[in-house]
Amino acid sequence: MRHRVRGRKLGRNASHRKAMFRNMAVSLIKTVRVDEEDPDRPRVAGRIVTTVPKAKELRPFIEKLITLAKKAAVHESAAAEYATDADRNSEEYQQWRKSDRWQQWSQKISPAVALRRRAFSMLRDRDAVSILFDELAERFADREGGYTRIVRLAEVRLGDAGAQALIEFVGERDREKAKRRAAPVVEEETSGESAVSDDDAEEMMASDLSGDESAESSESDDAPAAEEDSADAAEDGGEDTAADTEEEEAKE
């Protein structure tokens, strides 16, 4: 059972894998500082091409080194308060070396020195360590993680048709997502004729109320007259029916 066994073997033993990751990390870090006059300079800074499994195994190796550099940057900034710019062989430097400021500077800078030595033991290259602590630590100071990116390539490797990928540092060629535009707000235009002021609205409401009151009063005045007409019609109808009955009895 593969308990507590993590990572890919990549067809190599432990020492060979360690050396391979060291060389790949040094190559990737050194591509950050490109010399334009160098004929063997990389075409794109901060990027190397390898196979997909190797890129996936190299990524945590590189990001742990950047984390060490960021931790050292904190101690170096704290020690800069007690540092001096004097020449090493000058009297000012000798006085600073004998003062308490040197003791404080030594205590502040010692963790950063230990972290640099630890990174050097992993890379075994002074130029790569210098780039890592002087440039990459400052570049990713505000980033919490994810310092590298793996992009698969369509072209396979010649010979064995292995899947290729490029691994690069983020931040230089990042694509910005297009922001969605908000839907336009259509405002209803009101013409001068249709616009009604508050005073006009109050006058219209008052006229409507007065019209309703006059209509109610006219209806109340017409109601007694209508009742009298209906009573007269009922009396006339009763007299007609009585006359008709008398005529029928006389005929019989």
pLDDT mean over 50-79: 96
Beta-ladder partners of 156? 163
37: confidence class by pLDDT, cuts 50, 70, 90: confident
CA angle 137, 140, 146 (to 5 degrees): 120
State residue 198's pLDDT score: 59
N-to-C CA span, the chain:
132
**Token pair for 153:** 């390539």
Strand-pair category, 163-169 with 47-51: antiparallel
Residue with the larger pLDDT of the pair 212 and 190: 212
How would DSSP label each residue in 14-81? HHHHHHHHHHHHHHHHHTTS--TT-TT--SSTTEEEEEHHHHHHHHHHHHHHHHHHHHHHHHHHHHGG
Beta-ladder partners of 49? 166
Q: What is the tens place of the pLDDT at every residue in 205-239?
A: 666 666 665 555 555 555 555 555 555 555 555 55
pTM of the predicted protein model: 0.66
Residue 126 contacts residue 33 (beta carbons within 8 Å) = no
pLDDT mean over 65-76: 96
